[in-house]
Amino acid sequence: MLLSVKSSRMNFITIDFSLNSPGICVFDGSKYTFISYLKANTGSKKEQLIQSNFSNLKDGVLIEQPDFKSHEQAYSSVEFAKIQRYVTTSEEILETVAEIINPSDECVFAFEGTSFGSKMGTNNIIDMAAGAAILKFMILEEFNVKTIETVAPSTIKKHAGKGNMNKLMLWEKFIDNSIEDTYLTNSETHSFCVKELGRDIKKIPKPFDDLVDAYFLNHYLQGISTTDA
């Protein structure tokens, strides 16, 4: 569900980047919008129903990725196909962001850095870095960017409460709105998570694990931008 809200104000766009489920949180000075660029058929049927319900929220946007594997067959080079995938991903994410904010308004972007405890293989890390680099390049080309930051996961968790929290602990902080964010209180996505998923879950369904990281990064970014102003 795309929104079209144009405003003359500072915008904060934060990205928990991955190849299969980038999570993006946009704050335009008055409200949050949560965007997921999710690989098709992710999760169980129950999880896919949750994803469908999320996409119907006023501040929830779910973009289903194309079938990149079938696209790869059209190219002789796997590496070239990867680049095509990164470009398509960047285009579709940024087109959605541009539906929410005015690209000519000043923007602050931030990415969550790679965790030192990540179990990704070397090739996956390289692919992630390449995809993120293309996205950053296109951000600079298409938006009025004040700065692009990269923030360590431990810094984001510390902002939410404690630097060594796991995903479920961070989820609890999000559900409880522990940082007392008035704008989050007014979010349909947050209300949906509270009512439909609750605090005491054993597994966070996609895309909410990514969106929670992007949210806390966004709130952190707002704070340091205010301090730097």
Minimum mean pLDDT range among 3-12, 100-109, 177-186? 3-12
pLDDT for the residue 116: 53
pLDDT for the residue 5: 40
**pLDDT exceeds 80 at position 49:** yes
In a domain, 116, yes or no: yes
- Give the sheet arrangement for strand 11-16, strand by strand: 60-64, 32-38, 23-27, 11-16, 106-112, 144-151
**pLDDT exceeds 80 at position 218:** yes
Residue type, 193: C
In a domain, 64, yes or no: yes
Q: How many angstroms separate the first and last alpha carbons of the chain?
A: 34
CATH code of the domain covering residue 110 = 3.30.420.10
pLDDT for the residue 125: 85
In a domain, 32, yes or no: yes
Q: How many domains does the chain have?
A: 1
| Cα–Cα distance list, 91 to 115, 138, 141, 180, 191 (Å) | 26, 8, 11, 34, 30
pLDDT tens by residue, 95-105: 999 999 999 99
In a domain, 5, yes or no: no
pLDDT tens by residue, 51-108: 999 999 999 999 999 988 755 554 457 888 889 999 999 999 999 999 999 999 999 9
Report residue 195's pLDDT band, with 50, 70 and 90 as the boundaries: very high
pLDDT for the residue 115: 64
Per-residue pLDDT, averaged over 34-48, amounts to 95
Q: Are 39 and 206 in contact (CB under 8 A)?
A: no
pLDDT for the residue 124: 84
In a domain, 3, yes or no: no
pLDDT for the residue 114: 80
In a domain, 2, yes or no: no
Report residue 4's pLDDT band, with 50, 70 and 90 as the boundaries: very low
In a domain, 6, yes or no: no
Using the 8-state DSSP alphabet, how is residue 33 labeled? Answer: E
Q: What is the DSSP string of 43-72?
A: S-HHHHHHHHHHHTSTTEEEEEPP-HHHHH
Helix, strand, coil tally for the chain in percent (to 5): 50, 15, 35
pTM across the whole model? 0.90
**pLDDT exceeds 80 at position 2:** no
Report residue 201's pLDDT band, with 50, 70 and 90 as the boundaries: very high
In a domain, 34, yes or no: yes
Domain span at residue 163? 11-228
Mean pLDDT across the chain, nearest whole number?
90
